Amino acid sequence: MGKEDVYGRFVAWLKQSWYGVSQPEEALPLIRARYTKEEAALLTGIPFAPKPLAELAAQKEIDPERLREILDCMAQKGLVYRDEKKGSLRYGLNDIFFGMRAFGWPGRTDEPSRTVAPPANHYWEHGFLDPWEPVREKGLRVLPIGETIEDTREVRPYEDVVRLLDSFNYFVVTVCPCKDVAISVEKSVGLPGIHIS
């Protein structure tokens, strides 16, 4: 099987995600830069919703421990989603929407980020946003409903906040990935950049 066949099959699989792959010919340079041929071949057919490691190992006919090592490396690169539920490791393929945001963050200037940034910037301008074209009300915008909504927010005492935080096993404070990837890749790599307004 040729290299292009591998990527073609992978793109066909990615098209089945919720976001799909608009303008696949424009997406191919990004996909080639983001995934090795071996990664694309392995990830073709991996479900987008997380599935138990044992199920994926049976599907791919790979030893579960070896597959865990491979998928853990891919999770570090942002290619797959990894979680643990009731003591069972689960993995799911990240779609192209998440894949566009999961590199170069936050502010990475490593070689993989520098390699992926140019085709990502190109695809951002030539196809990635096509699915949003027919959407009249854009994301994170005001939706006019013609009603007054009561603001129920309130300032809480420090002690209440501490109790709330203590009630969680873990939590994360981080930057906005959409905005930070675009700005950090543009500034640190010196590329035209993905601009988010």
Q: What is the largest CA-CA distance in the chain?
A: 63
Among 196, 65, 59, 181, which residue's Cα sits nearest to residue 116?
181
Q: Each residue of 28-72: pLDDT tens digit?
A: 999 999 999 999 999 999 999 999 999 999 999 999 999 999 999
Among 91, 75, 71, 95, which residue's Cα sits nearest to residue 83?
91
DSSP-derived 3-state class of residue 92: strand
Domain spanning 3-101, CATH architecture: Orthogonal Bundle (1.10)
Which pLDDT score is estimated for 179? 61
> Does position 191 have pLDDT exceeding 50, yes or no?
no
Domain boundaries, the chain: 3-101
> Does position 193 have pLDDT exceeding 50, yes or no?
no
pTM metric for this prediction? 0.71
More confident call, 152 vs 142: 152
Which pLDDT score is estimated for 35? 95
pLDDT band at 111 (very low <50, low <70, confident <90, very high): confident
Q: Using only the alpha carbons of the chain, give its radius of gyration.
A: 20
Which pLDDT score is estimated for 32? 95
- Edge-first strand order for the sheet with 51-52 is 51-52, 88-93, 80-85
> Does position 122 have pLDDT exceeding 70, yes or no?
yes
pLDDT band at 2 (very low <50, low <70, confident <90, very high): low
Among 105, 116, 99, which residue's Cα sits nearest to residue 48?
99
pLDDT band at 195 (very low <50, low <70, confident <90, very high): very low
Which pLDDT score is estimated for 110? 82
> Does position 188 have pLDDT exceeding 80, yes or no?
no
